[in-house]
Amino acid sequence: MSNDAAGPVAEANRVHIFDTTLRDGEQSPGISLNVQEKVEIAQQLARLNVDVIEAGFPITSPGDSEAVEAIARGVEGPVICGLARTHKADIDAAWGAIKDSPHPRIHTFISTSDIHIEHQLQTTREDVKGQAKAAVALAKSYCEDVEFSPMDATRAEIEFTAEVCAIAVAEGATVINVPDTVGYTTPAEYMEYFRRLYELVPGLDAVRVSVHCHDDLGLAVANSYAGLLAGARQVECAVNGIGERAGNCSLEEIVMLLRTRRDEHGLDTSLNARELARSSRLVSRLTGYGVPPNKAVVGRNAFAHESGIHQDGVLKERSTYEIMDATEVGLDSNSIVLGKHSGRHALKDALEELGFKVEGNALNQAFKRFKAVADKKKQVTALDLEAIVSDEIRESSDAYALTSFEVEDGSDRDPRAQVTVTTPDGESSSAESSGDGPVDAIFSAIQRAAGAECELREYRVGAVTGGDDALGEVTVTLRANGRLSSGQGVATSILEASARAYVRALSNALEGAAIREAEDATAEGAREPTPGP
């Protein structure tokens, strides 16, 4: 723990971090992570030292199930959790996917609010009680660690929610989570909810109580904090606060709130906060959800001082205008520097220091890419390496690949691009196109070469580091078959980064379509909607 002055926190005051980036976070519109990307994020979450990774909702698709299984087998340290409705098929699928983890957990949920019971579930309170009982009992027959959530609890009658929670505790649930599913509650109200729940549910103080708050009114972190002050010791959160609609409680914000104001409440986590910035960058890169510059804790400006008075104060004494240290959250991670003469060994060592184990052909590819960048940049930093390597890792699993591109442009001619891509069946396909600008020309040429039908919805350009030789990072969001799909690309040239990002977005769209086809086939059998909670 980086808050050395305070030392390790007593177990009774330790808040468990339940990360749901890969489940609730992945339900954000336009995000479609493939198995490899999910494993990469899970590995980073393990480095961050979260207590629980909710790796997915296995019944929803074979792709999700495969990812949860891969994480359960390959990611060491945290508890690996799979989500399930109260249906037997869901619980069986969740168990099937997590059973190889040394620390598996099944998380089952059913709504307790009358709005959901009447309109969504179209059933009765009695049936909800029966379903909760059967689900926890079945999950418990597979797995010692079982979490139960009364969905939409904060809009439900507390006495009924308490009855359902009491049933879950009696059946052996080890964690009771109280979701503010639609981000409706307020800190004072949520605190009072917990006070009453502890009164009404026998044995609640013997299990772990958890908070799960959505950010529809911008209160997810404040409400989660209120729940922790009221006795909960698990917080469900997501990196960069991604999640359904306005998102979930932001992991980095709640963690740094607990750490920075430990003097006030005595609570803390076991998180390795120095991995926060990197986790944020990785999730942003793979999901296409950018981090606003003013985002608390991990935004580019979170530690930047603009006004002269503030700059003057910080130069004299950092604490005049800073309540945290940028190094504490890993925002200073530019310590590794390689030059153009660095060899394969130096690259391998630097990557290992960054937590990437890259060997064999992957190392050769990464080295080739590193050399190309090092020829154009004076110094290649840790941030550059991280960007190049995650780009390279993803490229190896993309359906389409960019083979080459050329662009002609000038003040006296229309932009024209020529591209060659490798298609999913391994064929090489070339096409040419003009466009309103060079990027537009490249995009339409790629679209032609790939034979894809899609529409560009968003195009964002950023820089991996500062400096005039910085690597460019581009995010492209496309609409294909009625769905959004994003891709990112990194290169010293913005045109190349754009082409890479577009090709990756096409690959992700194709993968998303394949997953949905498989989901439809699964749903044929089940004939019940799998709601996105």
Q: Find the shortest distance in angstroms from Cβ 121 to Zn ion.
A: 17
Shortest-Cβ-distance residue relative to Zn ion: 24
Q: Which is nearer to Zn ion, 215 or 384 (CB)?
A: 215
Residue ranges that bind ligand KIV, judged by CB under 6 A: 24, 109, 149, 151, 177, 179, 181, 212, 214, 533
Token pair for 113: 């609010």
Place of tokens 């439900």: 156
Write the secondary structure of 5-17 as one string of H (helix), E (strand) and C (coil): CCCCCCHHHECEE
Residue type, 78: P
User: Taking CB within 5 to 8 Å according to partner kind, which of Zn ion, ligand KIV, none is near residue 328?
Assistant: none
Q: Find the shortest distance in angstroms from Cβ 530 to ligand KIV.
A: 12
User: Alpha helix (H) ranges present in 261-343?
Assistant: 262-265, 276-287, 308-316
Angle at CA 201, nearest 5°, toward 196 and 207?
110
Q: How far apart are CA 497 and CA 314, in angstroms?
A: 36
Compose the 17-36 pattern: x for residues touching Zn ion by CB under 5 A, - for all others: -------x------------
Token pair for 6: 């305070």
Q: How far apart are CA 491 and CA 497, in angstroms?
A: 5
User: Taking CB within 5 to 8 Å according to partner kind, which of ligand KIV, Zn ion, none is near residue 151?
Assistant: ligand KIV
Q: Which is nearer to ligand KIV, 34 or 149 (CB)?
A: 149
- Among 468, 516, 529, smallest CA distance to 494 is for 468
Q: Find the shortest distance in angstroms from Cβ 207 to ligand KIV.
A: 16
- Paired strand residues for 476: 459, 487
> How many residues are recorded in the chain?
533
How many residues bind Zn ion, per CB under 5 A? 1
Q: Quick check: 333 and 298 in contact, CB under 8 A? A: no
Q: Find the shortest distance in angstroms from Cβ 372 to ligand KIV.
A: 43
Q: Find the shortest distance in angstroms from Cβ 90 to Zn ion.
A: 16
Q: Which is nearer to Zn ion, 182 or 351 (CB)?
A: 182
User: Taking CB within 5 to 8 Å according to partner kind, which of Zn ion, ligand KIV, none is near residue 35?
Assistant: none
Q: Which is nearer to ligand KIV, 167 or 419 (CB)?
A: 167
Q: Find the shortest distance in angstroms from Cβ 248 to ligand KIV.
A: 8
User: Taking CB within 5 to 8 Å according to partner kind, which of ligand KIV, Zn ion, none is near residue 224?
Assistant: none
* Cα 2 to the center of its chain, rounded Å: 23
Q: Which is nearer to ligand KIV, 91 or 442 (CB)?
A: 91
Tell me the backbone φ, ψ of residue 259, rounded to 5 degrees.
-70, -45
Q: Find the shortest distance in angstroms from Cβ 25 to ligand KIV.
A: 10
**Where on the chain is the footprint of Zn ion (CB under 5 A)?**
24
